[in-house]
Structure 1
Amino acid sequence: MKFLCTAVVAVALLVANAGPGTAAEPKQHLVAIQVDQNDADVMNLALNNATNIMEQYKSKGETVEIEIVTYGPGLHMLRADTSPVKDRIKQIVDASFPSGIRVSACNNTKEGMEKREGRAVSLIPEAELVPSGAVRLIELQENGWSYLRP
């Protein structure tokens, strides 16, 4: 009888320590991709990386959130007037809805470009303005996001 009681207590402890939702929950991945160059090849590589990452984890039944953070010369990726990849961004972001790929634009860079050019800089509709691209990358990494620079 003593053995049976000990076994019951051991099983109860195992169940209690397992915690909620530990079985069969898909793994969640978080990936920040930096673009800081006005180079169509780098921009396309970042988009290829994002697409490949999404497809890989989807095929494994796992989820992923990806944020492409642009700053410096890389902001051209999200400028309505100079982006060589704006149509591709729209296609990828639309295909990844409701979660998936987000694109962020550095407001510090945008304001600097506006000052130098003497006019407002318009961003593509998919872009989300963040105060600082560099700080955004730091914050994402501090919150457990993996970092990738193509």
Structure 2
Amino acid sequence: MQRRRLAAGIALAATPAGIAAAAPIRQRVVYHVGDEGGPDHAHWRTALGNMRNHLDVVGDGLELVCLLNSSGIRLLLDAAGNPELGADVAALRRRGARFLVCSNSLRGQKVAREALLAVPEGDVVPAGVVELTRLQQEGFAYIRP
């Protein structure tokens, strides 16, 4: 009996009416960038491309955060002087992505927040690993491209 109800529920959900009635996808995701971008920023470009693709598929149903710590903070440092990289970051921000930066990493690498590409003071977190933990406890899925 339960199998029939399950099958009927799946069939209803698969119909156009079932799809239209479904709630919009709601995902909360934190992308973790904590290392050098590699030659020609290849690793960072992959991470930014994954974020763009995620937004393309899920759209408004996605709450997207990129947490930068360790050498990953250099993504926004390099983006401040690299128009192509800066444009990729700016495009993601326009679509609602937030870029959070680890204060410990800034201090340890002697990088001023103002040297990064447009990071508001409120997007600097005390410790990246603590923020990653907090976000996961709040239901954010963790992705490290």
- Common fold by TM > 0.5: yes
- Unpaired runs of 5+ in structure 1? 1-22
Bigger Rg, which one: 1
What is the CA distance between 1:80 and its match in structure 2?
5.7
Give the CA deviation at 1:43.
0.9
Displacement of 1:93 in angstroms is 1.2
TM-score of the superposed pair, with normalisation by structure 1: 0.69
Q: CA deviation at 1:87?
A: 2.6
C-alpha distance in structure 2 between counterparts of 1:32 and 1:142, whole Å: 12
> Hey, what's the Cα distance between the residues in 2 that align with 1:132 and 1:44?
24
Distance 1:126 1:82 in 2: 10
**Identity rate, percent:** 26
Report if the CA contact (8 A) 2:80-2:117 is conserved: no
CA distance in 2, matches of 1:147, 1:123: 24
Alignment of 1:6-25 (within 5 A): 24-25=22-23
**C-alpha RMSD over aligned residues:** 2.2
Is residue 2:92 matched to residue 1:92? yes
Q: Is the 8 Å Cα contact of residues 106 and 129 (structure 1) preserved in structure 2?
A: yes
Corresponding position of 1:28: 26
Distance of aligned partners of 1:126 and 1:89 in 2 relative to their CA distance in 1, 3 Å threshold: farther
Change (3 A) 1:83 1:69: farther
Identify the match of residue 109 of structure 2 among 113, 116, 126. Answer: 113
Count of equivalent residues: 117
Structure 2 equivalent of residue 123 of structure 1: 116
Whole-angstrom distance in 1 between the partners of 2:119 and 2:92:
10
1:103 paired residue among 94, 99, 102: 99
Q: Which has the higher helix share?
A: 2
TM-score (norm 2): 0.71
